Amino acid sequence: MNKAIKACIFDLDGVIVDTARFHYLAWKRLAEELGFYFSPEHNEKLKGVSRIRSLEILLEVGKKKLSAQEMELAAEKKNKWYVEYISKITPDEILPGAYELLIELKTYKIKRALGSASKNAGMILNRLELNRFFDVVIDGNKVSKAKPDPEVFLKAAEELKIKPKECLVFEDAQAGIEAAINGKMRCVGVGDPELLKKANLVVPDLANIEWKDLIKIV
């Protein structure tokens, strides 16, 4: 195959596991402590937004004002609750098809990396019992630039000792797809075809995907 793929790089949240609901539960808990209700609809405004900007939006919803010091403490409290929630996740929370695809890639001797902005990625993989499937884990502790900057994916390729053009990225966010493209990598979008239309291929999830069929398409 003239465009052989030698490695796959996976985003974590929305591809391997869904931790977004734990972020919501933590923000909702903070809102309740501040005396107002934060709905799932309000939470949609926080997607792809930094922690401090998310807090600003939450305060706007509740019509609350905090000092800079109070905001810093509130953000730390929210993160502490989020870590508490994800520390209890189990392998049952692995998204459909992810475990099977990782097994298949290992069988075919395709290298595997995780490329996530999360600083809790290592703990989450440990809780999901997926550590053994990844040759390399690049997370928020190893990179400083956010997607669509390709740093996280290029770092993964570098540690795998694989050329970017020989990597295939699995992503569920527009910024992640753009990061893969910026890194000169092919990519599979997992989710909404309209949002992820720049990907080489878009699938609703990783269920029923077989590697031998996938490499013919991408």
Catalytic (active-site) positions:
11, 13
* 21 three-class SS: helix
Go through the chain and tell me how many residues it has: 218
Strand pairing report for 201-203 and 7-10: unpaired
Sign of the C-alpha dihedral, residues 123, 125, 130, 134? negative
Q: What is the largest CA-CA distance in the chain?
A: 60
Question: Is the backbone peptide bond immediately before 148 cis, with ω within 30 degrees of 0?
Answer: yes
| Whole-number Å distance between alpha carbons of 56 and 7 | 39
